[in-house]
Amino acid sequence: MFRAANSPLSPEAARALDLFFATEASGCNSGRWRLGREAEFARLHALPDAALDAMGLSRERLARYVFREMFSR
């Protein structure tokens, strides 16, 4: 997938986010949702697992947390 040069995502974080949109958010216009939230996802994805655990988050559910409005219905 194409990544803008100024994207805050590491290749690993970009793959995780791509997988989320392909499997759990198919059919939505991900570009609209992604653009404003990539920085938050990148910041959280860069944290160690212990820090995520202390926040009540898991690496596997980060995308769902960052894009939680999509699933609030």
Integer Cα distance of 3 and 73 in angstroms: 30
pLDDT digits (tens, 9 = 90+) for 6-65: 678 888 888 888 888 888 776 666 666 677 788 899 999 999 999 999 999 999 999 889
pTM attached to this predicted model: 0.72
Say yes or no to pLDDT of 71 above 90. Answer: no
How confident is the model at residue 34, as a pLDDT?
75
Q: Domain range for residue 53?
A: 11-71
User: How many domains does the chain contain in total?
Assistant: 1
Query: How many residues are present in the chain?
Result: 73
Q: How far apart are CA 50 and CA 7, in angstroms?
A: 25
Q: Is residue 4 part of a domain?
A: no
Q: What does DSSP assign to residue 6?
A: T
Task: Name the helix (H) or strand (E) containing 35.
Answer: helix 30-35
Domain membership flag for residue 51: yes
